[in-house]
Amino acid sequence: MTTSATVRDKYQAAVAAAHVAETSSRARPPHRLSVSKLGGCTRQAAYALAGTPVSDTPPPAEARAANLGTWFHLGFLPRLADQVGGKHETDVIAHAAGLAITGQTDLAVVESADGGEIVDVKTVDGLDVVRRYGPYGDHWVQVFAYALGETQRTGRLIRWAVLIYVDRGTGAEEIFVREITPAGLLAVINRVRDIIDAAADPDTAPRLTAAMPGGRRWRMKGPGKSKGCDECPFLSRCWPGAKSGVVGAQASIVRTDAAIEAALGAYGAAARTVSDAASEQDFWRSVLAGSPAGIYGSWRLTWTKSGSIRVTAARALEEAS
């Protein structure tokens, strides 16, 4: 007998299955080093380049946030191109250090009087982090790699790299702009060289995303702590004994007294950093206690109803250094 509960259950299962089907349709070969992977985990990229056998085949995830981002791109990018010109979702090949790295630009406005732009759109769950700390380094690597490919294709330097972060919940955006310089393109080439060097012994490669001037770097923290690790086809090779989504394999790092000493040092340094930062914030909070909310130069000051302070970048424009 059909009830409202069985109909609800039917559609709950159907929604989950639809997301899995979408995720599966976008699955990529584990040994392909694409532009989107170029800025990610160095060890994963080294495994891919070295042709290391896959150690894990995680089942297709629902990846709802990623699917929402993909569907947003499908509807948004053509409309964005209508406003500024250029071509959206175009294939590009960046040649670096003897490798041909393929990818797909979100938007390339290369026929432009002001030098043109390469645009990459990122959908995120909230904008607070990028507003406070700026883009991740791997995102800059990605958009600069697209610029490298377009520069090689057109024979002229594209002038601007643009990162547009869009809040998946509200549609609000935060935009970062950097001038594309030969030094920035060289940083991409050096990143490729680093991965090639790491591929000689990928088991010892750092579990870190790309370093790029003007962008934050991210540590891959293992199963249960980093989504990239949980979904990695080399998970249990990288983290012996690991199971996707289960914390514990991190202990494999400290198998010697020297490794334990190093981990204690890192923990202590992090604790001091947190303590010092909290103390500094507490001091400046007391300094600002009587200041009215508003925009002061490059910063925005907001007071919550509970009296807490909130400080964010008022103008998210990062000029070339």
Q: What is the pLDDT of residues 176-198, one digit of tens each?
A: 999 999 999 999 999 999 999 99
CB 40 within 8 A of CB 228: yes
Q: Contact, 43 vs 220, CB < 8 A?
A: yes
**DSSP for 202-260?**
GGGS-SB---BTTBB--B---TTT-HHHHT-TTHHHHSTT-BTTBTTGGGGG--SHHHH
pLDDT computed for residue 316 by the predictor: 44
pLDDT of residue 149: 95
Cα–Cα dist 168/68, whole Å: 8
CB 92 within 8 A of CB 105: yes
The pair of structure tokens assigned to 212 is 């790029």
Distance CA 146, CA 34 (A): 11
Check if the beta carbon of residue 39 is closer than 8 Å to that of residue 137: yes
| The pLDDT of residue 2 | 85
The alpha-helical segments, DSSP class H, found in 34-134 are: 35-38, 42-50, 64-84, 128-133
Give the pLDDT band of residue 320 (cuts 50, 70, 90).
Answer: very low
Closest listed residue to residue 178, CA positions, set 125, 115, 129 = 115
**Contact between 119 and 108 (Cβ < 8 Å):** yes
Instruction: Identify the pLDDT of residue 313.
Output: 66
Task: Determine how many CB atoms are found less than 10 A away from the CB of residue 34.
Answer: 18
Taking the alpha carbons at both ends of the chain, their separation in whole angstroms is 68
pTM score, two decimals?
0.82
